[in-house]
């Protein structure tokens, strides 16, 4: 785990009949100023699946500026949540556990006493992070999901705004300011105009914000994710995946101005905003607005990865950290759901002649599409194309923007649907250019032909050499295997060749 972290071993006990022990599962508890969250990961690896994810809004940092103490009711809710979290970790026999606390527990007079109670209930030591540690771990989390992030990571918790510059996979200068919505509401006496002045004064002393021209703001935290949901709803965005959702600067500023002026009742009437978030959202909008105006950042990129993912990522060996999160996730899904997991790698090599001019970016898109290409075989035939498409489109992987996500999912759709037109309702307006759709079509048809030749059996594809000529796509079939060239294979080859503007030919040799 992360340097300096505390990891405990759960007490051993006999497992019920049929239950499988998973000694590599990792449980992370994050005690923030506004919420307490438990995430249980399947393994300590580059792109682990989430076994369980639960959040409780406790607001232990409410009124802390005024009182200097954690909120009594919030502490009770937090301790109750920790007791529940321990029961769940015990039930799942989670062996590795870590817990951290952030701004409110760090700054409150009664923070140490609360942490002692929390440790007793959770059962392991709880590390109270400094502001800089909190900022850097959030940045590590962003890099785990967006390795090419370039700009400013800003993590808005209930009690603090933590910022770190990122570029080339490395973190830069870290800053922390007391401008989490709960604290800002208290400091400003619930006056948005005063809150703006407080944030402006704090940001004015940070020199690093002057060197962010044409770079991105990577927004971390539940408040800003709620802001992004509101923006998605207002703009009619067709893909409801928050990770790597991009809001252009002008649109973000316009919505910040609107949201900062909305009353709590107005926000509570919006079904996509939880009642617990409604009170704090206008102040989150104030912070975002002032941060954008203080800098020359070009857009806001929402990150679903933050502190908890940063704790996991920071502790990985260097070799594991260098792995591609998209490919690791796709490979894991392929390993769990494909009939023959090795077939995806065989398809990559077999199809190389068709895609020799691929950029590195397109090659990894093809690799991911082929790794996902056999996840639908257990589905009903009438639902395979739609079901596999939606499963890939909304899967919780990092390392891909929304265009790449749509491109991969569309290729998987065509792998199952063949040469059918892509349904209008699934076009996902604006996500794919015509050239992207054409490329996805070719990828899907190539995979479709591969499965017709091999039935996904390992080592079969190598028997049928694929060639691309100026006029044709040729499949060379050994004479002893001539019966493979049945009508179904011929049709699939014809469709693939047509997508390249060529004729298909089966050459028996």
Q: What is the pLDDT of residues 213-268, one digit of tens each?
A: 899 999 999 999 999 999 999 998 989 999 999 999 999 999 999 999 988 788 87
What does the DSSP 8-state code read for residue 461?
G
pLDDT at 430: 79
10 band by pLDDT with thresholds 50, 70 and 90: very low
CB proximity list for 337: less than 8 A, separation 6 or greater: 374, 375, 378
DSSP collapsed to 3 states, 1-21: CCCCCCCEECCCCCCCCCCCC
pLDDT at 377: 96
Is pLDDT of 11 > 90? no
pLDDT at 421: 78
- The percentage of the chain sitting over the pLDDT mark of 70, rounded to a whole number, equals 94
Is pLDDT of 270 > 50? yes
Note if the pTM is more than 0.75.
Answer: yes
pLDDT at 363: 98
pLDDT at 425: 64
Is pLDDT of 206 > 90? no
Cα angle 340, 344, 347; round to 5 = 120
Read off the pLDDT of each residue in 70-76 and give the average, rounded to a whole number: 96
- The percentage of the chain sitting over the pLDDT mark of 90, rounded to a whole number, equals 82
Q: CA quadruple 138, 139, 140, 143: dihedral positive or negative?
A: positive
Average pLDDT along the chain: 91
pLDDT at 426: 66
Long-range contacts of 16-23 (CB under 8 A, 24+ apart): 19/93, 21/93, 22/92, 22/93, 22/94, 23/93, 23/95
Is pLDDT of 285 > 60? yes
Is pLDDT of 203 > 60? yes
Is pLDDT of 24 > 90? no
pLDDT at 366: 98
Read off the pLDDT of each residue in 105-121 and give the average, rounded to a whole number: 96
Give residue 12's Cα distance to chain centre. 33
Read off the pLDDT of each residue in 296-324 and give the average, rounded to a whole number: 94
16 band by pLDDT with thresholds 50, 70 and 90: very low
């Amino acid at each position: 785990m992360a340097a300096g972290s505390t990891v405990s071993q759960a007490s051993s006990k006999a497992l019920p009949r049929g239950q499988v022990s998973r000694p590599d599962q990792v449980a992370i508890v994050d005690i923030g100023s506004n919420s307490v969250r438990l995430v249980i990961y399947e393994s300590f690896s580059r792109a682990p699946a989430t076994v369980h994810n639960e959040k409780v809004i406790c607001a232990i940092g409410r009124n802390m500026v005024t009182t200097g103490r954690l909120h009594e009711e919030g502490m009770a809710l937090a301790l109750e949540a920790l007791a529940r979290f321990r029961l769940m970790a015990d039930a799942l026999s989670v062996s590795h556990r870590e817990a951290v606390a952030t701004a409110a527990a760090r700054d409150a007079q009664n923070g140490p006493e609360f942490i002692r109670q929390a440790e007793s209930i959770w059962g392991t030591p709880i590390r109270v992070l400094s502001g800089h540690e909190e900022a850097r771990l959030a940045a590590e989390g962003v890099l785990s999901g967006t390795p090419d992030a370039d700009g400013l990571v800003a993590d808005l918790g209930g009690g603090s705004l933590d910022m770190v510059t990122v570029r080339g996979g490395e973190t830069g200068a870290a800053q922390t300011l007391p401008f989490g919505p709960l604290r800002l509401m208290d400091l400003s006496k619930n006056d948005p105009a005063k809150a703006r002045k407080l944030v402006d004064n704090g940001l004015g002393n940070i020199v690093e914000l002057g060197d962010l021209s044409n770079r991105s703001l990577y927004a971390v935290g539940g408040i800003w994710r709620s802001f992004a949901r509101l923006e998605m709803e207002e703009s009619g965005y067709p893909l409801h995946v928050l990770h790597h959702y991009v809001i252009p600067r002008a649109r973000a500023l316009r919505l910040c101005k609107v949201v900062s002026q909305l009353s709590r009742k107005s926000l509570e009437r919006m079904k996509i905003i939880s009642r617990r978030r409604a009170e704090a959202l206008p102040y989150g909008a104030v912070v975002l607005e002032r941060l954008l105006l203080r800098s020359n950042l070009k857009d806001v990129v929402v990150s679903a990865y933050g502190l908890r993912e940063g704790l996991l990522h920071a502790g990985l060996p260097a070799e594991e950290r260098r792995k591609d999160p998209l490919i690791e996730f796709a490979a894991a899904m392929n390993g769990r759901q494909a009939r023959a997991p090795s077939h995806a790698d065989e398809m990559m090599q077999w199809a190389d002649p068709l895609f020799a001019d691929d950029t590195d970016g397109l090659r990894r898109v093809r690799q991911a599409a082929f790794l996902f290409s056999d996840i639908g075989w257990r589905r009903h035939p009438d639902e395979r194309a739609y079901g596999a498409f939606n499963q890939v489109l909304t899967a919780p992987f990092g390392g891909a923007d929304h265009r790449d996500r749509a491109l991969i999912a569309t290729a998987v759709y065509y792998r199952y649907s063949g040469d059918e037109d892509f349904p209008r309702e699934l076009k996902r307006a604006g996500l794919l250019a015509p050239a992207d759709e054409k490329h996805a079509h070719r990828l899907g048809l190539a995979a479709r032909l591969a499965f017709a030749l091999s039935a996904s059996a390992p080592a079969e594809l190598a028997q049928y050499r694929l060639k691309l000529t100026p006029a044709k796509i040729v499949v060379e079939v050994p004479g002893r295997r001539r019966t493979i060239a049945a009508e179904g294979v011929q049709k699939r080859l014809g469709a693939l060749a047509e997508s390249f503007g060529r004729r298909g030919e089966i050459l028996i040799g």
